[in-house]
Amino acid sequence: MDIKDGRTVKGVNFVDLRDAGDPVELAEIYSREGADELVFLDISATEQKRKTLADLVYRVAEKVNIPFTVGGGISSIEDVDVLLHNGADKVSINSSAVKNPQLINDLVSKFGSQCIVVAIDAKQIEGEWIVHLVGGKVPTERKLFEWAKEVEERGAGEILFTSMDHDGTKDGFANGALARLSGELNIPVIASGGAGTTSHFIDTFKEGKADAALAASVFHFKEIGIGNLKQELRENGIPVRI
């Protein structure tokens, strides 16, 4: 769930955001429907120099009994400490990790790799996957695969890879890039960006070798039911919890 000004939003290619509902209400629904985990990303937190609201984390923790990750504007041990104490199971860092890679080491040393997720937003520029920051607005000199390997070496427990080219398009995940990431890394890779049909999920597990798949609009706007999706995944030989 992308969060902006306390509301769940969804766009296409990281722009043209539209309201998708109250994040706590949606969290309750998805927890009941069988989602394995939830991810809350405050997409305006870094841009506006504003910390992810700890009270949202607290309210979500009161309502759901599945693990959830929180990201957005996290840049210190203190930020993570507040979120974990308010009920988050994991934290996701993105821009702050690129700007200060040592932050990954510091957070892993303090809290353990199991709760440190590094989110990477990337898009293809002249055939290269280039890492972007600040909600996808600022290109960097970092290349996806080199950065992902460094993230792993610094101790992160998971990588959440979002293809900006696929985000919100509903044309399928970036399975080529995902397969390469999965082949080069030894930590779980979460696929994000592009889910539109149940077959897209099947493809990202089989072709993209993803360890997990994240989606937003297809669930927010009731285009795919979580229960039906998990049943279809199981029927296609993909192990899921039902």
Long-range contacts, stretch 122-126, CB < 8 angstroms, 24+ apart: 122/161, 122/162, 122/163, 122/164, 122/177, 123/163, 123/164, 123/165, 124/165
Q: In this predicted structure, which of 72-76, 177-181, 189-193, 206-210 has the lowest mean pLDDT?
A: 72-76
Residue 156 has pLDDT above 90, yes or no: yes
For 100, the token pair is 């200060």
Domains of the chain (ranges, CATH numbers): 2-235 (3.20.20.70)
Read off φ and ψ for residue 204, nearest 5 degrees.
Answer: -70, -25
The string of pLDDT tens digits covering residues 29-46 is 999 999 999 999 887 755
Residue-level pLDDT at 154: 98
pLDDT score at 229: 97
pLDDT at 14 over 50: no
134: confidence class by pLDDT, cuts 50, 70, 90: confident
Q: If 0-12 CB within 10 Å is exposed, 13-18 middle and 19+ buried, where does residue 38 land?
A: buried
Tell me if residue 106 is catalytic. Answer: no
pLDDT digits (tens, 9 = 90+) for 53-98: 688 899 999 999 999 999 988 999 999 999 999 999 999 999 999 9
Residue 152 CB burial class (10 angstroms; 0-12, 13-18, ≥19): buried
Higher-confidence residue of 11 and 73: namely: 73
Which residues, 6+ apart, have CB-to-CB distance to 32 below 8 Å?
A: none
In three-state secondary structure terms, 224 is coil
Weakest-pLDDT range from 8-17, 130-139, 171-180, 233-242: 8-17
pLDDT attached to residue 49: 45
pLDDT for 121 beyond 70: yes
Which of 42, 121, 167, 203 is the catalytic position? 121
pLDDT at residue 50 tops 80? no
22 part of the active site: no
With a CB cutoff of 8 Å and minimum separation 6, the contacts of 183 are 209
pLDDT reading at 6 higher than 50? yes
Q: 21-24 — which CB contacts under 8 Å span 24+ positions?
A: 21/220, 23/56, 23/60, 24/56, 24/59, 24/60, 24/63
In this model, does residue 12 exceed pLDDT 80? no
pLDDT at 101 over 50: yes
Question: What is the overall mean pLDDT for the chain?
Answer: 90
Q: 17 pLDDT band (50/70/90 cuts)?
A: low
Residues 6+ apart with CB under 8 A from 16: none
User: What is the pLDDT at residue 55?
Assistant: 85
**Tokens linked to 102:** 């040592």
Q: What is the pLDDT of residue 52?
A: 59
Residue 52 DSSP class = P
pLDDT bin (cut points 50, 70, 90) of residue 217 is: confident
Of the residues 2, 42, 79, 203, only one is catalytic, namely 2
